[in-house]
Structure 1
Amino acid sequence: MTSSRPTIDFDPFTPPHLIDATELLARARRETPVFYSPPLGTWVITRYDDIVEIMRDPASFSSAAAITNVPAPPPAPILEVLARGVAYEPNSVDLDPPGHTVTRKFITRAFSSRRVSAMEPRITEFAHELVDRFSDGEADLVAEFAYPLPTLVIAEILGVPTRDLPDFKRWSDEWIVLLAQRGDMPRLIAAAEAIVEFQLYVAAMIRARREAPRDDLTSAVVAAADELDAPPSDALLTSLLMTVMFAGHETTTSLLTNTVKLLSQHPEARREVLASRELVPAAIHEALRFDPPVPSMYRTATRDVELGGVTIPAGAHIQLNFASANRDERYFEAPDVFDIHRAERVRPLSFGHGIHHCVGAALASLEGRVALNVLYDRLPGLRLKPGQVITPIPSATVRGTKQLLVVYDGRRPREERG
């Protein structure tokens, strides 16, 4: 064990690491699997085993601040704006047991295998409706399909009116900005103001469902909470539903975009998927490993702890780099190769692990399967538009792109399959 602090200037918010950190992370796994990143102000964990060990030990590694790369609270002007809204409370992804156990039960019921399977016809209909609006030869896959599809799905589950969906896009974008805390103060204040709008909107939904329940997840969560001997506060329910809304569409948008992009960049895999649609789930699984929509999450050390031969001090902010773990040579053969026929039984960490495994994983996978089948059924020759520069979103917690231009050879009717 050593008390020294191995350091690497890793910054996923700026080039070159924003574009591709594969080489740096591979070298870190070999030589410095646990290191400190001065640009982030966090420790970074790169190996699969170490990340799993951390996620299995919430007593030593708290999930507090799990979704932000910034260990310190926001600056005072930001806190002043946020004080106008609903006080944020840790609720699921950033909550440790025993509180996590209680709140997770509310959400797990809504994403049971039976409920998820029952959503397939609606997801299929949404996907077709979106493709119906495409022009005959070119589209922005993010704006016209990959963003609206999961947004429509999670909105229906939660009971959010379609007319309010444009606000959700704006609120989600601003939440990413606020979590990163990158930018000048006016920009961050604008993001905080948007989050206050989001909070007040969800809080109003909770009050409305308590007075007049509907057949939706929001009503179910409120009812389940109110039945407890010690009901959680409306502030906690607000934070919980905000998290579900955000995670329920933002990460799936990236999953859809990344999968289409990777299949376009690997034409042999694309040809195989087109020839045998049974390979669609495998293609999605490999896309999740190769370019995960959630590349990292965070923990806080509750005590001095030794990991990878290095002592991480109590109170340290720690990045669990899922993108690196998913390419750990100890578990994945030829990890930098996109291979839809992988034989490894180990599960990538793209949906988390253990008590924090994503409750919406089955829904996201279903949306991915339906989306790919509809796109390839309806859009012959679907491929990336040549010459475009694909720039990732500057975020350590969401790996996607704001735009992905695709071209295709016309649109088939719904019933026709190539």
Structure 2
Amino acid sequence: MTTAEISADEAASDFNPMVSPHREDPHLFYRVARQGPPRLSPTIGAYLVTRYDDLITVLNDPETYSSKAALPWIYDNPPEVVEILRAGGVPETPMVVNDDEPDHTPVRRVFDAGFTGARVRAMLPTMRARADELIDGFTDDRADLVADYAVPFVQTVISAIIGFPPEDTAQIQQWTDDVNTLWNRLAPVPDRVAAAHRMVEYTRYLQALIDDRRAHPRADLISDLVHGANGYPGLSDARVHNIVRGAARVAGFDTTRDAITATMLIALQNPDVHARLRADPVKTIPKLTEEALRRDAPHRGLFRVTTRATNLGGAELPAGAPLLLLFGSGNRDETRFPDPDRVDLDRPNVREHLAFGRGLHTCPGAPMARAEIRVAVETLVRRLPGMRLADGYEPTYIASYFFRGLESLLVTW
């Protein structure tokens, strides 16, 4: 057994998304875990909530299940990492996803301004132009729909929404990867030290943009956060840093990238689905999008912590118990979605999936993400109707604590 693998017994009793076999297929564990109450994972250090009904119970009861630990704080790192962050003046506040009421609403309502229906509609020409431009750039008759398409497509959209200059995309992506590393409790400490050093640079960069938007507001998320929206005042600079680098750039990039490629993989693996997609993309894309979000949720889940002793699905939990909500498992719960591993474009309750969460912390960017998926998929189908998986291609997945995404998606036509 190598450091990148765990034994069969461990695979059935504990969960580690960074290594095999859970990295390739977390459902090996999820199927077993749903047979019993939430269990404590020694690797994750939290109770794993895998059943749909238990997940809904937690999401619908924020008074018992606090969001204050939804995502790790970057200052919850080893001392050598914290020392670098503190010396560099890297701000740390609760993220909006970590806020309970009454703190949540004033921040969330300002954040929501970046993802209104009007903003979604305004972004559609940018999405369409970028999708066509990327396909124009495909060479020969092959492409990797992750590196050559989904990554640059989503980067363009999220940068425009936030207000990042397009020419800074590569550097911002490095910093975004660093945020993910600092959140990852399983990442090697030397990697977190290196990420902390780069976070100091990111802090200076973001502060310059905040200062600019304070003097020269634009139609972008940074300006909304600085000046306020929806009747609520602007946020502190530290809050703006945290929302931009985390909830906006990390969540807005990783999840949408992975949802686009998961949707296309399902289409290309299932000839009947691909045929329906080509024959009637307008009706088929929304159905395929929701079934892909259900079947292959791009976001693994978020943490909660109990505020009092409680019973959840048969597990007696003390006050202060950490929970990891595994949305991908709930989305394949046999009691909610019959024959859950099967691709069914006509599944009547598909919209009950938890890919975007539920309740107080439902993802504010869900309408924008759905629009990005729709444009990305419909442009591929229109421009390359004969696309198929490259010979010998087998899907492999990134080693990620929070996200479930393909490393590559090799296609030909």
The alignment's TM-score, normalised by the length of structure 2, stands at 0.91
The alignment's TM-score, normalised by the length of structure 1, stands at 0.90
Superposed CA RMSD: 2.1
1:238 — aligned with what?
A: 241
Letter in 1 for 2:151: Y
- Residues paired across the two proteins, number: 399
Deviation (angstroms), 1:173: 2.0
Aligned with 1:156 (options 155, 160, 165): 160
Q: Once structures 1 and 2 are overlaid, which stretch shifts more, 76-85 or 220-229?
A: 220-229
Letter in 2 for 1:367: E
Deviation (angstroms), 1:368: 0.5
Q: How does 1:11-22 map to 2 (within 5 A)?
A: 11-22=16-27
CA deviation string 1:7-61 (max 9, x = no partner): 932222211111112232122212x131111111110011111111111222221
The answer as to whether partners of 2:85 and 2:197 remain within 8 angstroms in 1 is yes
The answer as to whether partners of 2:155 and 2:253 remain within 8 angstroms in 1 is yes
Matched, 1:318 2:337: no
2:103 — aligned with what?
A: 99
Q: How many angstroms apart in 2 are the aligned matches of 1:148 and 1:12?
A: 25
1:3 — aligned with what?
A: none
Letter in 2 for 1:150: V
Q: How does 1:160-309 map to 2 (within 5 A)?
A: 160-224=164-228, 232-243=235-246, 244-277=248-281, 278-309=283-314
Matched, 1:350 2:351: no
The answer as to whether partners of 2:67 and 2:100 remain within 8 angstroms in 1 is yes
Deviation (angstroms), 1:104: 0.7
Q: Tell me, what secondary structure is at the counterpart of 1:10?
A: coil
Q: Tell me, what secondary structure is at the counterpart of 2:22?
A: coil
Deviation (angstroms), 1:403: 2.3
The answer as to whether partners of 2:74 and 2:92 remain within 8 angstroms in 1 is no
Deviation (angstroms), 1:226: 13
Q: How many angstroms apart in 1 are the aligned matches of 2:241 and 2:252?
A: 15
Deviation (angstroms), 1:72: 9.5
Matched, 1:134 2:158: no
Deviation (angstroms), 1:351: 0.3
Q: Once structures 1 and 2 are overlaid, which stretch shifts more, 380-389 or 283-292?
A: 380-389
Q: Tell me, what secondary structure is at the counterpart of 2:159?
A: helix
Letter in 1 for 2:355: S
Q: Which runs of 5+ in 1 are unaligned?
A: 1-6, 409-418
Decide whether aligned partners of structure 1 residues 215 and 308 sit closer, same or farther in structure 2, where only a CA change above 3 A counts. closer
Q: How does 1:110-149 map to 2 (within 5 A)?
A: 110-149=114-153
Decide whether aligned partners of structure 1 residues 338 and 396 sit closer, same or farther in structure 2, where only a CA change above 3 A counts. farther
Q: Which runs of 5+ in 2 are unaligned?
A: 1-11
Matched, 1:42 2:46: yes
Q: Once structures 1 and 2 are overlaid, which stretch shifts more, 170-179 or 234-243?
A: 170-179
The answer as to whether partners of 1:393 and 1:400 remain within 8 angstroms in 2 is yes
Q: How many angstroms apart in 2 are the aligned matches of 1:107 and 1:21?
A: 32
The answer as to whether partners of 2:50 and 2:326 remain within 8 angstroms in 1 is yes
Q: How many angstroms apart in 2 are the aligned matches of 1:301 and 1:74?
A: 22
